[in-house]
Chains A and B, each alone.
Chain A
Amino acid sequence: MPDSVAVVPFVILAALAVGGGAMMVLTRNVVHAAFWLLEVMMAVAGLFMLLSAGFLALIQMMVYAGAVSVLVLFTVMLTLRRREDAERSLDLSWSAGLIALGVFVAVGAAIASFVPPAVVAPAVTPGVAEFGRALFTERALPFEIASVVLLIALVGAVWWAGGDDR
């Protein structure tokens, strides 16, 4: 790696992210899992900060920690009829564990054999202003496509979740 990030915050945030992810998968309560997911999202936002991607950290906090977690909690609350329904059996299976482990070994091997090319880091890492300028000039077309995707998803979500009277 040409240069590195600060070690101590990285270790703390990485431990928070991995621990939160493990707790999310292993907890028995759906509501608790939603809150663990929220914790993972915030840890990943911190990691984005650490990787000098401040704008993405902001987006991450707004979209995931704000919108997505509220949406998940709404759905959980709406689809539970009783409080006891939140408690679930742990339903872990060996085959899924084996598949995940296999993918992990494959990814780990790929990472281990990956040799990063020597890159000269710029003196100043580009900030939010450069990000915005590039977003609206050279990447304006994907930006517009993304907005169309969001619009279609919005209409589709309202259509699916909408009332029965159609």
Chain B
Amino acid sequence: MALAGVLFCIGLFGALTKKSAVMVLMSLELMTNAVNLNLVAISRFMTPASMAGQFAAAFNIVVAAAEIGLGLALVLALYRLRKTVELDRIDRLKG
């Protein structure tokens, strides 16, 4: 669990500091992985028979996959529109 905490904080740090949209998405994936690891670890040691945490982690993986797919599609669409992936320069909601 401490390991998952460390991973989560590295991911949070990356998500807050990076300027490239793709890097932010990758940091988000890191955070999701940390959460999944924590779910599985707690499930392994507290409810080993019912595997509740494993189901939660499986659905979390599904949602994370959908999120990264949509996020990267959004990055591609933004790139086509603005020719940049720098978050500092994407500051208009209506182009």
How far in angstroms is the closest Cβ of chain A from B6?
A: 5
Chain B proximity mask over A9-31: 1 for CB below 8 Å, otherwise 0: 00000100110011011000010
With A40-B33, A100-B9 already in contact, the answer to whether A63 and B65 are too (CB < 8 A) is yes
A108 touches B2 (CB 8 A): yes
Interface size of B as a range: 35 or more
With A93-B17, A153-B69 already in contact, the answer to whether A119 and B47 are too (CB < 8 A) is yes
**SS of A interface (majority):** helix
Chain B residues contacting A53 (CB-CB under 8 Å) are 40, 43-44, 51, 54, 57
B58 touches A56 (CB 8 A): yes
Chain B residues contacting A1 (CB-CB under 8 Å) are 45
Q: Residue B63 contacts which of A25, A96, A103, A149 (CB distance < 8 angstroms)?
A: A149
How far in angstroms is the closest Cβ of chain B from A125?
A: 6
For the complex, what is the distance from the CA of A102 to the CA of B13, rounded to whole Å? 11
A107 touches B9 (CB 8 A): yes
For the complex, what is the distance from the CA of A122 to the CA of B76, rounded to whole Å? 49
B68 touches A68 (CB 8 A): yes
For the complex, what is the distance from the CA of A119 to the CA of B48, rounded to whole Å? 9
Name the interface residues of A17-56: CB closer than 8 Å to any CB of B.
Answer: 17-18, 21-22, 24-25, 30, 33-34, 37, 40-41, 44, 47-48, 51-53, 55-56
With contacts A24-B26, A64-B33 known, what are 6 further pairs, Cβ within 8 A? A30-B20, A56-B61, A63-B65, A67-B65, A126-B51, A153-B67
14 contacting pairs across A/B (C-beta < 8 A): A18-B3, A21-B7, A37-B26, A52-B44, A68-B29, A71-B72, A79-B79, A91-B17, A91-B19, A92-B17, A96-B16, A107-B5, A158-B73, A160-B77
